[in-house]
Chain A
Amino acid sequence: EAGVTQSPTHLIKTRGQQATLRCSPISGHTSVYWYQQALGLGLQFLLWYDEGEERNRGNFPPRFSGRQFPNYSSELNVNALELEDSALYLCASSPDRYQPQHFGDGTRLSIL
């Protein structure tokens, strides 16, 4: 089966710009999760989408937002980019909230 795919692989932006990251889950998976992995920190939970709805979000400001489309793919939007937003952003999917998550390779976002 095709795994979770994320695009782009790398993204370079400047402060104040907006970034859009995309995630395609494994076929049949309806739950999509977003995580941020900043240098020296563990993965931090950002957002969880299921069946097109935002189900939960982590302790991040509102400029981090996203959505899930009818085909269950998802995008993460980060507005008013700040230097500390530089990180690896991982997407994961699962058939439901109980089954193990499958992770993508991530998008590395660099803010100059």
Chain B
Amino acid sequence: AQRVTQPEKLLSVFKGAPVELKCNYSYSGSPELFWYVQYSRQRLQLLLRHISRESIKGFTADLNKGETSFHLKKPFAQEEDSAMYYCALSNFGNEKLTFGTGTRLTIIP
């Protein structure tokens, strides 16, 4: 069965410090990995997906198949990064997307 684990429920980081949100997965095969974000009073939205290999709002994530991880990173945290972040996995595109339980990131001014 496919599973996504986000070990940190809460993460607090000072403004300007590096951010790393952890995501580990279990899946037999080649998954597609995503990061979704929900800002305060906004809807859940896609932040990035590994196949696009792009940086969104300064965030990047590298798929490490050996460690089955897809950690989200940003070198310098900004206050507007405070949000709930969900890692997600699918076997193909949007099909049967499996989400982790999320990490609430708080940026301390």
A53 to B9, CA, bound (A): 36
Stretch of B10-18, B60-68, B75-83, B97-105 on the interface side: B97-105
Distance from A26 Cβ to chain B, minimum over Cβ atoms (Å): 12
Distance from B40 Cβ to chain A, minimum over Cβ atoms (Å): 13
Stretch of A69-77, A78-86, A99-107 on the interface side: A99-107
**A2 at the A/B interface (Cβ < 8 Å)?**
no
**B94 at the A/B interface (Cβ < 8 Å)?**
yes
Q: Using A103-B43, A103-B45 as known contacts, say yes or no to A31 and B96 having CB atoms under 8 A apart.
A: no
Which residues of A in the span 1-53 have a Cβ within 8 Å of any Cβ on B? 3-4, 31, 33, 35, 40-45, 48
Which of B44, B95, B96 has its CB near the most chain A CB atoms (within 10 A)?
A: B44
Number of interface residues of A (CB under 8 A): 28
Q: Could you count the A-B residue pairs with CB atoms below 8 Å apart for me: how many are there?
A: 55
**Chain B residue with Cβ nearest A94:** B94
**B58 at the A/B interface (Cβ < 8 Å)?**
no
Say which residue of A45, A96, A102 sits within 8 Å of B97 (CB atoms): A45
Which of A4, A33, A90, A103 has its CB near the most chain B CB atoms (within 10 A)?
A: A103
What residues on B are CB-neighbors of A104 within 8 Å?
43
- The answer to whether A40 and B101 have CB atoms under 8 Å apart is yes
Which of B88, B97, B100 has its CB near the most chain A CB atoms (within 10 A)?
A: B97
**Chain B residue with Cβ nearest A3:** B43
What residues on A are CB-neighbors of B46 within 8 Å?
100-101
A96 to B99, CA, bound (A): 20
A68 to B99, CA, bound (A): 24
A36 to B12, CA, bound (A): 27
Say which residue of B43, B95, B98 sits within 8 Å of A56 (CB atoms): B95
- The answer to whether B99 and A44 have CB atoms under 8 Å apart is yes
